[in-house]
């Protein structure tokens, strides 16, 4: 009986190479871990039922982690405020997320700028006197009392998109036109001069919670929007190093 021949060495090498190629890279493993962690957080916060879409949450979290790594956020408050201007003003489209406690602190109405649109905001600007909302990431600053009463300064950190916020006095404040009663009467919220205006009965609590170096993300329909803080590598490193 003939003795079976050993497989050619070249074939063995090819098999080993193909097996090696089939193994996931460290980068892909990190990406999978990052995605899983974000999905777990999204599930634990239970915000899907409240209308916060995962793709918006993912962008907001990526920016939050980038800003955290950059040392721009307070260590004392792990809060992330998300506003989704792709939703109509008649829907509650602002969330204040407590990432440490894994709970939603606030979920409420918020107004957009007068020239950004009627019920849905479709136009955005960083220009003074545009009376439009400005998209992107902000870091909250200190409080002050102005013409709208208790208000909160917002520092826009996305160059070209919201960096004129302080100069434009784009701030968080309360307004009578941000209410269910106003919606019932006019079919939409009233509109601001560009500020994310809040309901009068919640503005004090929200401003108190998020002041002093927390992250705010304003999402909108502008396809040209981009941000250096949407760097997934930085965000992944933040999660892997346990800084979140």
CATH of the domain at 69: 2.40.440.10
Residue 98 lies in a domain: yes
Size of the chain, expressed as the number of residues it contains: 244
Residue 112 lies in a domain: yes
Residue 28 lies in a domain: no
Task: Enumerate the H helices of 151-214 as residue ranges.
Answer: 165-168, 180-186, 203-210
Residue 121 lies in a domain: yes
User: pLDDT category, 22, cuts 50, 70, 90?
Assistant: low
Encode pLDDT of 27-85 as tens digits.
888 888 899 999 999 999 999 999 999 999 999 999 999 999 999 999 999 999 999 99
Which pTM does this prediction carry?
Answer: 0.89
Residue 10 lies in a domain: no
User: pLDDT category, 26, cuts 50, 70, 90?
Assistant: confident
Identify whether the C-beta of residue 178 lies closer than 8 Å to the C-beta of residue 153. no
User: pLDDT category, 239, cuts 50, 70, 90?
Assistant: confident
Residue 21 lies in a domain: no
Residue 13 lies in a domain: no
The total of structural domains in the chain comes to: 1
Res. 14: pLDDT tops 90: no
- Quote the domain boundaries for residue 65: 36-240
Residue 129 lies in a domain: yes
Identify whether the C-beta of residue 83 lies closer than 8 Å to the C-beta of residue 196. yes
pLDDT score of 33? 87
């Amino acid at each position: 009986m003939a003795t079976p021949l050993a497989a050619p060495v070249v074939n063995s090498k090819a098999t080993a190479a193909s097996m090696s190629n089939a193994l996931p890279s460290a980068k892909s493993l990190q990406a999978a871990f990052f995605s899983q962690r974000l999905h777990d957080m999204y599930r634990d916060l239970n915000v899907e039922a409240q209308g916060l879409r995962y793709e918006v949450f993912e962008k907001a979290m990526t920016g939050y982690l980038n800003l955290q790594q950059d040392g721009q956020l307070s260590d004392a408050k792990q809060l992330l405020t998300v506003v989704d201007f792709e939703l109509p003003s008649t829907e509650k489209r602002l969330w204040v997320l407590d990432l440490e406690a894994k709970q939603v602190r606030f979920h409420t109405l918020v107004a957009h700028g007068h020239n950004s649109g009627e019920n849905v905001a479709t136009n955005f600007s960083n220009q003074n006197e545009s009376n439009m909302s400005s998209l992107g990431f902000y870091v909250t600053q200190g409080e002050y009392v102005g013409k709208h009463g208790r208000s909160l300064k917002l520092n826009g950190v996305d160059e070209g998109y919201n960096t004129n916020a302080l100069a434009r006095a784009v701030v968080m404040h309360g307004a009578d036109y941000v209410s269910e009663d106003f919606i019932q009467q006019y079919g939409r919220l009233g509109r601001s001069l560009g500020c994310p205006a809040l309901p009068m009965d919640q503005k004090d609590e929200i401003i108190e919670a998020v002041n002093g170096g927390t992250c705010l993300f304003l999402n909108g329909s502008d396809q040209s929007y981009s941000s250096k803080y949407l760097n997934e590598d930085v965000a992944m490193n933040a999660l892997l190093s346990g800084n979140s």
